[in-house]
Amino acid sequence: MDLESFVAGMPKTELHVHLEGTLERDLLMRLAAENGVDVPLPEGGFTDLTSFLAQYYPAMRALVTEDDFFELAWAYLLRAAEQSVVHAELFFDPQAHTGRGVPFPDVIGGYRRAIEKAQRELGVHADLILCFLRDLSAEHAMSTLMEALPYKAWIVGVGLDSDERGNPPAKFAAVFARAREEGFLLTMHCDIDQPGSIEHIRSALLDIAVDRIDHGTNIVEDPALVDLVRERGIGLTCCPISNGFVTDDMKAAEIVQLLRAGVKVTVSSDDPAYFGGYVTENLLALARAGDLSEADLVQLQRNALEVSWLAPFRRDRLL
Ligand code: ADE
Ligand code: ZN
């Protein structure tokens, strides 16, 4: 069997995809027209995280009604089903919407409706992870957490995304401690080659005690931290195509090094509408750049299921 068919047919788990990053151009243009909002179309040409985020947030203004959030998540879940995704953990950025006056219940209500429909009609299982925007204040994150508490049953964990420069994990220590007390699992972005990446990884692991790290391949700079994540079985959700956009390097060598060292690295798509690849394309890109075997690809997918936040009875059935 050729590599494309093998990867296409593999049952997959996607742990790092931002729902707002799945907003494809056609849907963006249609929703902007229906809502009568003037939205700058993403032009691409990103050279780093900041230049990507500068196009990413304005495009979200196309999303206004509960139905819009439903449509966005439903379009992603249809694509996930086509790509043999059996389980997906979906980041969403409520502050990017509530800050424009969209009510929190409309955001989460639309997303949840799509997830329930996908479970019924597509056999795709999905959960939501609420991400705080790290360039906003810790107080804003805490009030968002409070707003989310009535919807706890729909949210499996919390994360941290957006601009990492000058916004270290410690800024959100109290928010993450409270989220933990409320029963949420914890992850956070430690983006590629950001100023202070390795200190952010260390702090996320030692001070915040995260359950996973998103990206995090700079961990190769500190062998003691590599040992720590291997011993604790902490997953790193890597996104090769996204890495290639924000740093000019897919970081295939680092991902393969971590895989060979027995770290639970996984492959996901991050913001596929912007970076041009869903999970299948990310696995293929890494397989080619890192010269991976079919057994390696299976290991990456086993890792994803093992470090997923599925309830054990569901996870063990899929493993
Ligand atoms: N928001 C969406 N994608 C992101 C990324 N790769 N890093 C930080 N914030 C993001
Ligand atoms: Zn991300």
The burial of 176, by beta-carbon neighbours within 10 Å (0-12 exposed, 13-18 middle, 19 or more buried), is given as: buried
ipTM for the complex? 0.97
**What spacing in Å lies between the alpha carbon of 183 and ligand 1's midpoint?**
24
Residue 87 marked ligand-binding: no
Q: What is the spatial distance between Cα 168 and Cα 185, in angstroms, rounded to a whole number?
A: 19
Which residue's alpha carbon is at the smallest distance from atom 10 of ligand 1?
A: 162
200 is an annotated ligand-binding site residue: no
Mutate to test the pocket of ligand 1, among 129, 162, 187, 239 (most ligand atoms within 8 A of CB): 162
Angle at 249 between CA 280 and CA 260, to 5 degrees: 65
The response to whether 296 counts as a known ligand-binding position is no
**How far is the centre of ligand 1, averaged over its atoms, from the C-alpha of 317 (Å)?**
31
**Residue pLDDT, tens place only, 237-276:** 999 999 999 898 999 999 999 999 999 999 999 999 999 9
Structural domains of the chain in order of their starting residue, each with its CATH number: 14-309 (3.20.20.140)
What pLDDT band is residue 58 in, cutting at 50, 70 and 90? very high
**319 pLDDT more than 90:** no
For ligand 1, atom 9, which residue shows the shortest CA distance?
Answer: 162
Q: Residue 135, annotated ligand binder?
A: no
**Which atom of ligand 1 sits closest to the CA of residue 93?**
1
How many percent of the chain have pLDDT more than 70? Answer: 100
Report which residue type is found at 301.
Q
Mean confidence (pLDDT) of the chain? 97
How would you class 141 by CB atoms within 10 Å of its CB: exposed for 0-12, middle for 13-18, buried for 19 or more?
A: buried
CA 313 to centroid of ligand 1, rounded, Å: 31
Mean pLDDT calculated for residue range 198-215: 98
Per-residue pLDDT tens digits for 78-104: 999 999 999 999 999 999 999 999 999
How much is the average pLDDT of 10-37?
98
Ligand sitting nearest the alpha carbon of 49: 1
Contacts of 148 (CB under 8 A, 6+ apart): 94, 104, 108, 130, 155
Ligand 1 atom nearest 18 alpha carbon = 2
Q: Over 90: is that where the pLDDT of 318 sits?
A: no
Mean pLDDT of 137-144: 98
> Ligand 1 centroid to 115 CA: how many Å?
22
Least trusted range by pLDDT, from 27-36, 66-75, 306-315 = 306-315
Report the separation in Å between the CA atom of 100 and the middle of ligand 2, taken as the mean of its atom positions: 22
Residues near ligand 1 with C-beta < 6 Å? Answer: 18, 21, 49, 161-162, 189, 191, 242, 270-271
Tell me, what's the pLDDT at 1? Answer: 83
Q: What are phi and psi of 198, to 5 degrees?
A: -70, -35
Partner residues linked to 91 by β-bridges: 18, 129
